[in-house]
Amino acid sequence: MEPGEAASFILREYSKCMSCGFCEAACPTLPFGPHRGYGPRGRVRLASLAVENGSISAEGVAGIYTCLLCAACMLRCPAGVDIVGVVRLARELLARGAIRAPERIPLRLVG
């Protein structure tokens, strides 16, 4: 996908999010993550901020790349946000350098 198209897709999907958090209960990675960026709602927000700012923090990158793409969250999302699509396209923008990111990323786990 062209970077502009991917960015629009991410912003459009984020605009559907009502922040209800129903997705979070289904996410396997969130209970082990140090912040909400390890869960679906956080990942969608991080991706949209990264598109808006053209950059992302190291903790944000960790959230984006620890997603399993397992889609358990999408069963729970009442707004029908394509969470997996958002995460994958954020990775594509990062790989293309369309979003600036630190080279080394922290992987902090709880417990």
Partner 1 sequence: MASASPLKALLEFLRDSTLRVGLPVPLPMEEIYSWALPLRLPRMGSVILYTGALYQLMPYIESLTRYLSALEGSRVSDTLLRLARILIATPKLTRTLLAPEPARVERARRILTNISRLLSSSGVAHAYPYEDDLYSGVLLYDLGLDDAFAEVAGRVYRKLKEHGASTVITVDPHTTNILRNVYPSYVDGFDLEVVNYLEVLSRAAEESRIRLRGLVSEAVIHDPCFYARYLHIIDEPRKILERSGVKVLEPRRSREATYCCGGPVESVAPRLASKIAETRLKELAEKSKNVVVLCPICYTNLSRANKLGLRILDIAEVVEAEVPGSGSPQ
Among 5, 68, 78, 100, binds partner 1 (CB under 8 A): 68
Residue 104 sits in the site that holds partner 1 (CB under 8 A)? yes
> Residues 83, 84, 89, CA angle at the centre, nearest 5°?
100
User: Looking at 8, 9, 36, 74, which residue binds partner 1 (CB under 8 A)?
Assistant: 74
Q: Which one among 61, 77, 83, 86 touches partner 1, defined by CB under 8 A? A: 61
2, containing H or E segment: none
Alpha carbons 75 and 49: distance in angstroms, whole number: 24
CB 74, min distance to partner 1, A: 7
Residue with tokens 């396997």: 28
Give dist(CA 33, CA 89) in Å, integer. Answer: 22
Is residue 75 close enough to count as binding partner 1 by CB under 8 A? yes
Measuring CA to CA, which residue among 82, 60, 55 is closest to residue 71? 82
Structure tokens at 65: 């790349």
Q: Residue 89 CB, nearest distance to partner 1 (Å)?
A: 7
Residues that bind partner 1 (CB under 8 A): 1, 26, 28-29, 31-32, 61-62, 65-72, 74-75, 88-95, 103-109, 111
